[in-house]
Amino acid sequence: MKSITFLSVLAASAVGLGAADDLKIDVTHSVQCDRKTQKGDKVAMHYKGTLGDSGKKFDASYDRGQPLQFTLGAGQVIAGWDKGLLDMCIGEKRTLTIPSELAYGDRGIGPIPPGATLIFETELVGIDGVAPPEKETGNDEAKENKEADKAGEKGHEEL
């Protein structure tokens, strides 16, 4: 509950929406699904937040063992999250690099200094009313399959 309040206060104090082009989204684990996140979804996210300049962790749901639940696109979290977490599949992981204009701006708050770029490692745990994909076929799995295929080819060559 403390983190929900913390992020809600931070979202309320966030300023500006003009730097959307500076939001960087890296998909670190992709998942195929029929239903992706959209504005208005109640989602559950695990995350770790660090400061862009120092790498210092300022918050993490993983430490509490409980994902953060919020409504996507409703202004309950910072603008960088509302934009950067759209079109995700359950089980997908992303790293968001969020400029201060889409985070807490020149005000800063708590352990976050004014003008800070924030980096969030995020994982979509759930979307209310949506079943998770039956089988994840993300990029991590594709790499493992490729390595297994190579190992299998070597085994056949030796026969």
The catalytically annotated residue of 82, 104, 119, 127 is 104
Say if strands 93-98 and 24-29 run parallel, antiparallel, or are unpaired: antiparallel
Does residue 6 contact residue 78 with C-beta atoms inside 8 Å? no
Check 78, 90, 109, 127 and give the catalytic one. Answer: 78
Residue 70: active-site member: no
Catalytic: which of 4, 6, 58, 140? 58
Q: Verify whether residue 34 is a known catalytic residue.
A: no
Instruction: Pick the catalytic residue from 70, 119, 120, 127.
Output: 120
Given the residues 41, 47, 70, 98, the one annotated as active site: 47
Could you tell me the two tokens for 52?
């862009």
- One-letter amino acid for residue 33 of the chain: C
62 is catalytic: no
- 59: annotated active-site residue: yes
Pick the catalytic residue from 41, 59, 90, 127. Answer: 59
DSSP per residue, 57-71 = EEEEHHHHTS-EEEE
Q: Catalytic amino acids?
A: 47, 58-59, 78, 104, 120
